[in-house]
Amino acid sequence: MREMLRVWGRDNSINVQKVLWCCGELGLEHERVDAGGAYGFPEGYEEINPNRLVPAIEEDGFVLWESNAIVRYLAARYGAGTLWPEDTRARARADRWMDWQATALWEHLRPVFWGLVRTPPEERDEAAIEEARRKTAGAWAILERHLEGREEYVEGDALTMADIPLGVSARRWFGLDIERPPMPNLEAWYGRLLEREAFRDCVAGIPLT
């Protein structure tokens, strides 16, 4: 009998939300344990994740950390043919967007989010936040062009693992009180995510903190 999946991490973390949303789409029962941020880490957590970061998962004695790796694992194990494209090239295309989110996109979006949400107003570097906002808009423009003529999701008519890291990032982009250039394709895609119960429960319904 499979032991219940355990997810370590607080539900307001962008990286934890990737895993929780993935679980929601797959209908995976799991236990979430608060860790990181204001919760700190329980004694011995470094044996689970030596980086002392969240998320991490445990399942039947198997431990894994790094959010995108966890999403890939869960999608491959429980979502073959849905979140995990079975065609090798389709899977590679989904994979690239996951890497792109972790590098090109989040590199610019993170300073905007941290500057406006987790930094007191009197300590903000407004110039740096604005520069990061412009660079983030430039990164989103790449996905905007990619979505042109696509009716549903990032890599086809069905949600795949590609949408998950991008979707949690879009939640921050559209949830911040900032100037955003019009991007109708991106906005329509995000609107489709908001129609998904698991996205609302695990991502959109959680306050940005």
- Per-residue pLDDT reduced to its tens digit, 50-93: 999 999 999 999 999 999 999 999 999 999 999 999 999 999 99
Q: What are the phi and psi torsion angles at 202 (to 5°)?
A: -100, -15
pLDDT digits (tens, 9 = 90+) for 118-133: 999 999 999 999 999 9
* pLDDT band at residue 150 using 50, 70 and 90 as cut-offs: confident
Percentage of residues in the chain with pLDDT exceeding 70?
99
pLDDT at 11 over 90: yes
Kindly list the structural domains of the chain, giving each domain's residue range(s) and its CATH number in brackets, ordered by start: 5-78 (3.40.30.10), 88-196 (1.20.1050.10)
Going by C-beta distance under 8 Å and a sequence separation of 6 or more, which residues neighbour residue 49?
8, 56, 65
Tokens of 98: 């996951």
Q: Taking the chain, what is the end-to-end CA distance rounded to the nearest angstrom?
A: 37
Percentage of residues in the chain with pLDDT exceeding 90?
97
